[in-house]
């Protein structure tokens, strides 16, 4: 029987997500033997600083990319939102797994009682989340929150934070949906591009047939539109840029958040277009928002 090795970060969430992919492969291709290979990335080790201070999202993929290039693993699984906008052309994304709930959520301590102040120490290292939450709750104050979900929840329950803003997808995939106190609508809190989508990377020219069975067309089209938008704005880890594509039959509604550093303000806008032009929609929305900020009609 043929054996394939799939690489993953060693956090509980990363392993759970990779296991979803492995389980699907075993159903689709029972003749394959699948091995999980875990490793810790630099981004998992340095937790006392924000990602923009230590090199950005690439710190979550560097070791896994190296493992792919040197043949230590055959494929890797990532949360798409953690992939840099510019992916190594020798390590393309070969499949986009079906999307989980892309929304952000509010999580409160298990001891929370009515009358407590939930927004006096919000745990978040994301400027995107801070900007949007401040608009909803002007009194909100923030503390740096890094580390895996389980660690953050433990710190929350110990009183280090009064609330956390997390991705619904991660909590659901870890079986922790009961910790969610409130879902933010996409109008209230636009998520980062790719949130809820899993990306399977491999070595260029070594695609295997089972990958087409893993690939979700909805996820691929949404990912294409969202990442096109963010890429056109030069959005990286430190840039508070966000995007969400919603699919309606053969149409895509792409909503994007653009931050203007000069005025220290942001806006959200959207564009509807043909699903088959997902990449172009992302480019057009980015151009539209830049022109709006520059006062060009």
Element (H, E) at 63: helix 62-69
Element (H, E) at 227: helix 217-232
- Determine which one of 82, 101, 104, 221 is catalytic: 82
Enumerate long-range contacts of 292-295, CB under 8 Å, 24 or more apart.
Answer: 292/267, 293/258, 293/260, 293/263, 293/267
The DSSP symbol for 109 reads -
In the annotation, is 82 catalytic? Answer: yes
Could you tell me if 243 and 225 are in contact, meaning their C-beta atoms sit under 8 angstroms apart? yes
Please tell me the distance from the alpha carbon of residue 284 to that of residue 290, in angstroms, as a whole number.
Answer: 10
Could you tell me if 56 and 83 are in contact, meaning their C-beta atoms sit under 8 angstroms apart? no
Task: Give the angle subtended at the CA of 54 by the CAs of 53 and 57, to the nearest 5°.
Answer: 100
Could you tell me if 11 and 44 are in contact, meaning their C-beta atoms sit under 8 angstroms apart? yes
Which residues make Cβ contacts (< 8 Å) with residue 209, sequence separation at least 6? none
Beta-strand runs (E) in the chain:
2-9, 32-39, 75-79, 93-96, 104-107, 122-123, 142-143, 163-167, 180-183, 198-202, 242-248, 251-260, 265-274
Active site residues: 82
């Amino acid at each position: 029987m043929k054996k394939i090795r799939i690489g993953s970060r060693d956090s509980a969430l990363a392993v759970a997500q990779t296991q979803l992919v492995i389980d699907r492969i075993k159903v689709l291709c029972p003749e394959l033997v699948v091995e999980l290979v875990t490793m810790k990335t630099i981004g998992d080790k340095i937790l006392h600083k924000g990602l923009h201070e230590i090199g950005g999202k690439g710190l979550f993929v560097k070791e896994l990319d190296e493992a792919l290039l040197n043949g230590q693993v055959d494929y890797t699984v990532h949360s798409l939102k953690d992939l840099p906008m510019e992916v190594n052309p020798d390590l393309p994304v070969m499949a986009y797994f079906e999307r989980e709930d892309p929304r952000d959520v509010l999580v409160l301590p298990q001891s929370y009682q009515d009358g407590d102040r939930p927004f006096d120490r919000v745990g978040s290292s994301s400027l995107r989340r801070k900007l949007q939450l401040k608009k909803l709750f002007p009194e909100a104050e923030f503390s740096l929150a890094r580390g895996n979900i389980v660690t953050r929840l433990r710190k929350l329950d110990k009183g280090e934070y009064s609330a956390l803003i997390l991705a619904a997808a991660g909590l659901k995939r870890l079986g922790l949906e009961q910790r969610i106190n409130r879902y933010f609508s996409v109008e209230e809190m636009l998520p980062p591009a790719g949130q809820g989508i899993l990306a399977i990377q491999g070595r260029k020219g070594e695609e295997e047939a089972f990958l087409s069975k893993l690939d979700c067309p909805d996820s691929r089209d949404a990912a294409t539109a969202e990442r096109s938008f963010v890429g056109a704005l030069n959005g990286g880890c430190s840039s508070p840029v966000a995007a969400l594509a919603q699919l309606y039959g053969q149409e895509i509604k792409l909503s994007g958040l653009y931050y203007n550093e000069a005025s220290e303000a942001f806006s959200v806008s959207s564009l509807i277009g043909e699903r088959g032009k997902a990449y172009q929609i992302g480019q057009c929305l980015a151009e539209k928002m830049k022109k709006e900020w520059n006062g060009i009609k």
